[in-house]
Structure 1
């Protein structure tokens, strides 16, 4: 007799994102609506109303179980733990700030420049010295940025991510 498929768990605790670099960041929601961030969302590119040192979060996501999320209430402050992405380090999509490798200095500089131009709070702070070397403000603009700027302002009002 064949048994139906099932999950079989081990005896010990399960450690998620084992062996990855982690970082704790304090985040404040400056918006007027709650913002929810999913487990795999590139934290650097979360809603522009969330204020934190964005530069140090390039290439990181929440260090929580897949499929879960953290909710940031309006005016509230929350400390979260982030971890680096596994794989090649190429990220595309999200808010369109970084479309390339987190290991590429020019891509990082351009991502911070886009965040600054679009009003993402906390971009360009470089408190940790791990940022982009101060070149973010020199990054060029493109036509796509103007369209994204308008969309970002609307999304901030809605409290979306």
Structure 2
């Protein structure tokens, strides 16, 4: 069972070469930002989350990240331990760049108890 095969159930067959992630994104649709976890707990962000909607303890330029997500493979995530800063690439969301319903806008949260 030490041999690998491209045949049979569960076989994974790939084309030779390199796969470019988010290949349709132009240079103008990519930004590099610094993220800093100011909280006391780890924060994890998935590949398709709209960045301005993530945990408020993660500091970064939210206005600049409007309509963007992490530039990572689908299903991947980034974890930020407390006090950790990291510079990451982000990429524009497809379509209208809107992800409704992830987090309530600030003006709707004012009456929270």
Could you state the TM-score of these two structures normalised by the residue count of structure 2? 0.80
SS at match of 1:44: helix
User: Cα RMSD over matched residues?
Assistant: 1.9
Tell me how far 1:5 sits from its aligned partner.
8.0
2:20 to 6, 15, 19: 15
Could you state the TM-score of these two structures normalised by the residue count of structure 1? 0.57
More helix as a share of residues: 1
Structure 2 alignment gaps of length 5 or more: 1-7
SS at match of 2:44: strand
Find the aligned partners of 2:95 and 2:12 in 1 and give their Cα distance: 26
- Judged with a 3 Å threshold, the aligned counterparts in structure 2 of structure 1 residues 5 and 31 are, in CA distance, closer, same or farther, namely closer
Give the corresponding residue for 2:4. none
More strand as a share of residues: 2
1:58 to 66, 70, 89: 66
C-alpha distance after superposition, 1:66-89 (max 9, x if no partner): 111100010110111100111232
C-alpha distance after superposition, 1:22-48 (max 9, x if no partner): 111001110011111111111111110
Give the corresponding residue for 2:36. 28
Structure 1 alignment gaps of length 5 or more: 98-113, 115-140, 151-161
**Structure with the larger RCO, 1 or 2 (CA within 8 Å, 6+ apart):** 2
Q: How many residues align?
A: 103
Pick the structure with greater CA Rg.
2
Find the aligned partners of 1:73 and 1:15 in 2 and give their Cα distance: 28
Give the corresponding residue for 1:133. none
